[in-house]
Amino acid sequence: MRITLIGYGRMGQAVERVATARGHTVLGAIRRDTPPTERLALVREAKVLIDFSHASAVPDTVELALQTQRPLVIGTTGWDSQRETLAQQVLQAGGSVLYAPNFSIAVQRFIHYAVALASELLRLEGWDVAIEEIHHRGKADAPSGTARQLAERLQAQLTTPRTWVPAPPAQARLPKEQFILSTIRLGSEFGTHRLLLDGPYDWIELTHRAKSRDGFAYGAVRCAEWLPQHTGFWSLEQVLDRVLQS
């Protein structure tokens, strides 16, 4: 399969490595300074596009994919506020876009079981929850898309509503209806997400730690293999089982 990358940083290079190992051809990468005619040529030659670039580039990339009718896998994070608008644009145009803030298959399973466990325990008296994410200093957005996904899915499952906040209020106690989603930026850490549960008699920590970027790249490439036959605006959560069976 011919693939064009959008962005050729740490993740773009990992995708190239994994895609090549799976027998695909990476035609090239669109960078910030790639001229429009070259962009168009790279997109037209590709069967599928994979974007790991910057949030500011995502609306233009979606438009280009729709104009050229190319399926687009988006791994770039930090554009959640535009997600609904872009999803409508894709659905109206009959395009194919799949977005995941974290393409690690293990992380999707981690989120699933973490939410199930936390929502069950938080129904009991005296349980509290927090989420922590750690990433390298070069990460452009905070908190991570994955931590937001975990927090928002947990919020949706709780019988007693609680919303996440990035820090306790200054000089005040943390209200009972809030929980902390804390962010650490440290060295070259690939990505750690941790769910902390504190009960009257027990303490539980669930941690996912990426050992390299290749797990994200692998999930994105598997999705790129599945996407061309499927129109719509998809999340990895919606299609993971189908992707793994394809």
Ligand X SMILES: NC(=O)c1ccc[n+]([C@@H]2O[C@H](COP(=O)([O-])OP(=O)(O)OC[C@H]3O[C@@H](n4cnc5c(N)ncnc54)[C@H](OP(=O)(O)O)[C@@H]3O)[C@@H](O)[C@H]2O)c1
Q: Which residues bind ligand X (CB under 6 A)?
A: 6-12, 30-32, 52-54, 56-57, 75-78, 100-103, 138-141, 216
Closest-by-Cβ residue to ligand X is 9
Let me know if 135 is a catalytic residue.
yes
As measured in angstroms, the least distance from the Cβ of 99 to ligand X is 8
The pair phi, psi for residue 235, each rounded to 5°, is -105, 160
Would you say 129 or 210 has its CB closer to ligand X? 210
Q: How far apart are CA 246 and CA 222, in angstroms?
A: 9
DSSP line for 170-217: TTSPPPTTEEEEEEEE-TT---EEEEEEE-SS-EEEEEEE-SSSHHHH
Task: Tell me which of 139, 193, 208, 230 is the catalytic residue.
Answer: 139
Q: How far apart are CA 162 and CA 153, in angstroms?
A: 11
Would you say 73 or 115 has its CB closer to ligand X? 73
Would you say 108 or 129 has its CB closer to ligand X? 108
As measured in angstroms, the least distance from the Cβ of 11 to ligand X is 3
Would you say 67 or 178 has its CB closer to ligand X? 67
101: left (phi over 0), alpha (psi -120 to 50) or beta: alpha
As measured in angstroms, the least distance from the Cβ of 140 to ligand X is 6
Give Cα 146 to chain centroid, integer Å. Answer: 6
As measured in angstroms, the least distance from the Cβ of 35 to ligand X is 12
Let me know if 176 is a catalytic residue.
no
CB 55 within 8 A of CB 30: no
Task: Tell me which of 135, 136, 208, 230 is the catalytic residue.
Answer: 135
CB 19 within 8 A of CB 221: yes
Residues assigned a catalytic role: 135, 139
